[in-house]
Amino acid sequence: MGGKKKVHPKTRTAAFKASEPSEIVEAPHSFVIHRGLTCPYITDLTLDFRRIMEPFTASNLREKRMNRIKDFVSLSSFFHVSHMGIFNKASTQLSFKVVRLPRGPSLTFKVHQFTLSRDVISLSKKQMIDNDHFKHAPLVIMNNFSGDGKHLKLMATTFQNMFPSINLAQVNIGTIRRCVLFSYNPETKLVEMRHYSVQVVPVGLKRAVQKIVKGTVPNLGKCNEVVDFVTKWLCLRIRGRGRRTVTCGPGANAQKQGQPGGQQEFHQAARDRTAPNLAAHQNRGGPPDRRSSLPRPCGQDGGREGNHAQARGKEAKAEGAT
């Protein structure tokens, strides 16, 4: 009986590489691990750095205390890993090493300060968390690496090669949703690394059209068509604590031109509602109700409307006294 023919590992690896697209094979891949003393903050920092290096990184890489760096180096050729980031926690300091596989060079940095992504998200007013942002590689921005010195050129080249290159003629701008900034301060000789989320904002459009493009459209129940919302027949009035009321149609245009049917009819209806209250107090001989049910005036004529209402209140008070 003949046994199964064994497949040589090199043949299996070549077949595995041939099955993958050339863009994925040629893109730089990375391992991000941490060594040294155990610390929960360093573990979270390692996970955040893996998040930055996505999608060409081992996000779910599991480490054990028995693993050595040579164990990861031996697997680097099979997974097309070109760079390795190592956070090393000592008793006095925290260091970060970038290694170019398989023959180097390697750069070692001392970490002075760091901020976790959860702290940034908790302090931001508008939190942007979208997993689709991490499906494509970020855009790399280099700042102040053009000075004299071989170490600056080495750092700039290493940071750029950690991420896939971008072809300006073929790139889709819609896929660029993140950017990584490396900024060098020549005075302090420190390198700052920041991770940003990129959002496309329409420019040169009306405010109503911008809301439609962004998807934040207010209530259009009082509008006949979307055209009424976009054109000049739209009027936004802010009342109370940030509540917005949308008025569409001829009433809004009349309000703007000062014709009947707009804001004047609204105030007249409010006066009609308060008239029985004033008459009842006058018949009882008591003072009229000083709390006006009219809304707070808004706009350029708000001061004059308030003065007229106050004058009418004084006339009603004088009639009640007589």
pLDDT of residue 167: 84
pLDDT of residue 227: 72
Number of neighbours of residue 252 by Cβ within 10 angstroms: 22
The Cα–Cα gap between 238 and 7 comes to 74
pLDDT of residue 57: 94
The model's pLDDT over 194-203, given as tens digits with 9 standing for 90+, comes to: 999 988 777 7
> What's the CATH fold of domain 20-197?
Rossmann fold (3.40.50)
Q: Which residues of the chain have pLDDT under 50?
A: 1, 233-262, 266, 288-305, 322
The model's pLDDT over 137-189, given as tens digits with 9 standing for 90+, comes to: 999 999 999 888 899 999 999 999 999 998 888 888 888 899 999 999 999 99
pLDDT of residue 161: 94
The Cα–Cα gap between 161 and 99 comes to 11
pLDDT of residue 311: 54
pLDDT of residue 124: 86
Closest CA to 308 of 276, 278, 268: 268
Closest CA to 31 of 68, 78, 85, 73: 85
pLDDT of residue 317: 52
- Residue ranges covered by each domain of the chain: 20-197, 207-257, 275-296+310-321
pLDDT of residue 105: 93
pLDDT of residue 201: 77
pLDDT of residue 246: 45
The Cα–Cα gap between 201 and 316 comes to 54
